[in-house]
Amino acid sequence: MNERNTLKINNFGHLEIGGADAIELVKNFGTPLYVMDQAHIENVCLAYSEVLNKEYGYGMVAYASKAFSCKEIYRIINSLGLGADVVSGGELYTAKCTGFPTEKIIFHGNNKSEQELIEAVSSNVGIIVVDSFDEVDLLDKISKNANKIQTILIRVNPGIEAHTHHYIQTAKIDSKFGFSIDSGEAEEIIKYVSTKSNLKLKGLHCHIGSQIFEKQSYVLAVDKMTSFYKHIKETLCIEFDILNMGGGFGIWYSDGDAKTTVSDYADYVKLIATELKRNVEKKGLIKPYLILEPGRSIVGEAGITLYSAGNVKEIKGIKNYLAINGGMFENPRFALYQAKYTVKVANKMMDKGVKTYTIAGKCCESGDIIAEDVLLPSVERGDVIAVFSTGAYNYSMASNYNRNFIPPVVMVKDGVARYVVKPQTYEDLVRNDI
Ligand code: LLP
C-alpha cells in the first residue's frame, strides 16, 4: 500500500484510514463500504492551487467530478476554492444542490442534449466546452432565446498519444472527442463559431487521456496547443484568453506504479504551468488563463473499499478464489480495463502473505474479478478485505447489476466518520419500477 499520514497500520495491526480503524468502520457502517480520506483530498487540492498560483498566478483547478460525484465532494471542493467540471445534467444538478458557484463550473460532453444545454445556460455555467458543429448552432440558439452571450471553449484534439489503456486515451487521431488540429477541422470550427452572435469563444480545451505517467506528453501537448494559438493569432487575428489542458495525472494502484505523493501530483501542475509560461513568452502570445481538470488524482488514492471475506474456493493446483461481498457492480474497472489493484486483509496487516488468491465478486459472471493472484495471509470468512485507490471511477461507475446495492460512502477525517452517501434499501431498487 502507499502509506501516508492518514493511511497506515495501527498498533492493533489493523488498517487505519483518516485516523479511523478500518475494523471499527466496518462494525459501524457494514460492508461493502467506500471509505474516503477527506484530509488527503484536501491536501491534493491545496497543493494544486498553491503550485498553480506560485508558478503561473493566473488560472483555476476545476475538479473533474466524473471521478466521484456526490453532494459532499462539491462542498469540499468549493470550500477549497476549486472549480468543477461536469459532464451531464445530473452532475450539474448535484453541484447546484450544494450552492456551488456555477460561474466556476465547466460543462463538457461530446453529445450534450438540448435539455442539458438549456440547463447549463440558464444556470449561468461559466464555460461550456463545445464538441460539434451542430452543438454550436444549438447552443447559439439557446443562448439567444435566453438573451445571453455564453462563454465557450472548443474541444480540440492535439493528436498526442498518451501511453495509457486505449479506452481512456482521448486525443489520438481517431478519437470521438474534439476537432483535430492536424486535419484543419479545429480551424474550421473556430471560423464557424466566430459567425455566431450569442457565443463568446474564449479559447480551446484538450484532454490527452487519463492515468498518464509520462509527463512528457503534457510538454508536447502544451507546445502543440500554444503553436496552434499562435497560428490562429496570425491567420485569423484571434487571440485566446483561456487554455484548458484537461486532467489525466496518473495515480498509484499497484506494484507496477510509482508510489505517488501529494507533491508528485503537484509536479504535473508545475510542469504544465512552467511549460505554458515558457511557450507563451517564446511565441509572443498573451498569457492565457490556465484551467486544469484533474479528477482521479484528487479522489483516487483517498478511497479504500472495505469488504467482508466470504468463501474460499480452492481449485487444486490452479487457483484459489476468495469471494467478497462486492464485485463489478461497485468496481467494474477490472472487467472494463483489466485494472490492477492492491488488496490487503485489513485486520491482519502485520501477517505475512502465505497464499495467492484471486478476489472474485458476487455477480453472475466469470469476469467479475477485482484483482488476480494476490498474495495474502490465510483468509477466513469475516476477515475485512481492503482494496486501495478506489476513490475515482468506482462509486461514480457503480450500478445495481444483479439488483445489488450500490455501497454507501463514508468520509473520514481526524478519526471521525460520517455517511456522505447513505446505504440503499430494497425500496430504492424498485422505486421506479411500474
Ligand atoms: N477532463 C476531461 C475532458 C475528461 O474527459 C476527463 C476524464 C478528465 C478531465 C479527468 O481525467 P482524470 O484526471 O480523472 O484522469 N472511467 C475511466 C476514466 C475515464 C476518464 C474520462 N475522462 C477509468 O475508470 O479509468
348 in contact with ligand 1, CB cutoff 6 A: no
* Torsion sign over Cα 105, 111, 114, 116: negative
Q: Which residues contact residue 234 at a Cβ distance below 8 angstroms, ignoring those fewer than 6 apart?
A: none
Local confidence band at 171 (pLDDT 50, 70, 90 cut-offs):
low
Residue 295 CA to ligand 1 center (angstroms) comes to 7
pLDDT beyond 60 at 73: yes
Q: Ligand 1 in contact with 335 (CB < 6 A)?
A: no
Residue 219: CB within 6 Å of ligand 1?
no
CA distance 201 to 244: 13
> Cβ distance 214 to 263 under 8 Å?
no
Ligand 1 geometric centre to CA of 392 (Å):
9
pLDDT for 342: 98
Q: What tens digit of pLDDT does each residue of 336-365 get?
A: 999 999 999 999 999 999 999 999 999 999
How are beta strands 15-17 and 7-9 bridged, if at all?
antiparallel
Q: For residue range 89-138, list pLDDT tens digits in order.
A: 999 999 999 999 999 999 999 999 999 999 999 999 999 999 999 999 99
- The DSSP code for 392 is S
By C-alpha distance, which of 325, 328, 406, 333 is closest to 365?
Answer: 328
Residue 271 Cα distances to 107, 257, 349, angstroms: 25, 20, 37
pLDDT at 399 over 60: yes
Mutation test residue for ligand 1: of 129, 214, 296, 334, the one with most atoms within 8 Å of CB? 296
Q: CA dist 270 to 52, 211, 215, 276, Å?
A: 7, 17, 11, 10
Q: Compute the CA torsion angle 266, 257, 295, 269 (nearest 10 deg).
A: 20
pLDDT at 2: 93
- Distance separating alpha carbons of residues 102 and 222, to the nearest angstrom: 27
Lowest mean pLDDT among 10-24, 251-265, 297-311, 420-434: 251-265
Please report the pLDDT score of residue 343 as a whole number: 98
CA distance 320 to 227: 55
Q: Give pLDDT, residue 169.
A: 52
Question: For residue 312, what are the β-bridge partners?
Answer: 322
Distance (Å, whole) CA 91 – CA 85:
9
Question: Could you identify the atom of ligand 1 that is nearest to the CA of residue 393?
Answer: 24
* Cell, residue 39: 484530509
Predicted confidence (pLDDT) per residue in 273-300, tens digit: 999 999 999 999 999 999 999 999 999 9
- Over residues 224-269, the pLDDT tens digits come to 999 999 999 999 999 999 999 999 999 999 998 989 999 999 999 9
| Ligand 1 neighbourhood includes 157 CB (under 6 angstroms) | no
What number is the average pLDDT over the span 17-31? 98
Q: What is the predicted pLDDT for the residue at 177? A: 87
Residue 332 pLDDT greater than 80, yes or no = yes
Question: How far apart are alpha carbons 111 and 414 in whole angstroms?
Answer: 42
The answer to whether residues 388 and 304 touch, using CB atoms and an 8 Å cutoff, is yes
- From the alpha carbon of 295, which atom of ligand 1 is closest? 14
**Candidate of 207, 210, 257 to mutate for ligand 1, largest count of ligand atoms within 8 Å of Cβ:** 210
Residue 294 Cβ inside 6 Å of ligand 1? The answer reads yes
Q: How confident is the model at residue 168 (pLDDT cuts 50, 70, 90)?
A: low
Structure confidence at residue 176 (pLDDT): 82
Confidence (pLDDT) at 175: 77
The pLDDT of residue 295: 98
- Look up cell 471475506; give the residue: 309
Q: How far is the CA of 168 from the centre of ligand 1 (A)?
A: 7
In short, whether 246's Cβ falls inside 6 Å of ligand 1 is yes
Find out whether the beta carbon of 295 lies less than 6 Å from any atom of ligand 1.
yes
Q: Are 370 and 360 a contacting pair, CB within 8 Å? A: yes
What does the alpha-carbon distance between residue 187 and residue 227 come to, in Å, rounded to a whole number? 13
pLDDT at 130 (0 to 100):
98
Residue to mutate, 176, 253, 293, 370, ligand 1, most ligand atoms under 8 Å from C-beta = 293
Nearest CA to ligand 1 atom 6: 247
Note the pLDDT tens digit of each residue in 33-64.
999 999 999 999 999 999 999 999 999 999 99
d(CA 3, CA 7) in angstroms, rounded, equals 5
With beta carbons less than 8 A apart as the criterion, state whether 143 and 198 touch: yes
Nearest CA residue ID for atom 22, ligand 1: 210
> 3-class DSSP state for residue 225?
helix
Distance (angstroms) between ligand 1 centre and the Cα of 378 equals: 37
Handedness of CA 187, 192, 194, 200 (dihedral sign): negative
State which amino acid sits at residue 235. T
Catalytic positions are: 364
Q: CA 148, CA 135: separation in Å to the nearest integer? A: 16
Which residue minimizes the CA distance to atom 5 of ligand 1? 207
Atom 15 (ligand 1) nearest CA: 248
**What pTM does this model have?**
0.96
Across the chain, mean pLDDT equals 96
Percent of the chain with pLDDT over 70: 97
The answer to whether 368 touches 361, Cβ cutoff 8 Å, is yes
Helices 133-145 and 185-193: angle between axes, nearest 10 degrees: 20
Which atom of ligand 1 is nearest the CA belonging to 165? Answer: 25
Query: Which residue's C-alpha comes closest to atom 8 of ligand 1?
Result: 247
207 lines ligand 1 (CB under 6 A): yes
Residues in the chain: 434
Provide, rounded to the nearest whole percent, the portion of the chain with pLDDT above 90.
95
Three cell numbers, residue 44: 491534493
Pairs from 141-144 (Cβ < 8 Å, separation ≥ 24) = 142/114, 142/117, 142/118, 143/198, 143/199, 144/197, 144/198
**Which candidate, 362, 361, 367, 355, places its Cα nearest to that of 319?**
355
Q: What is the pLDDT of residue 167?
A: 53
Predicted pLDDT of residue 170: 57
The closest alpha carbon to 143, from 90, 196, 183, belongs to 196
Instruction: Give residue 65 CA to ligand 1 midpoint distance, Å.
Output: 9
Nearest atom of ligand 1 to the alpha carbon of 396: 16
198 pLDDT above the threshold of 60 = yes
Cα of 247 from ligand 1 centre, angstroms: 7
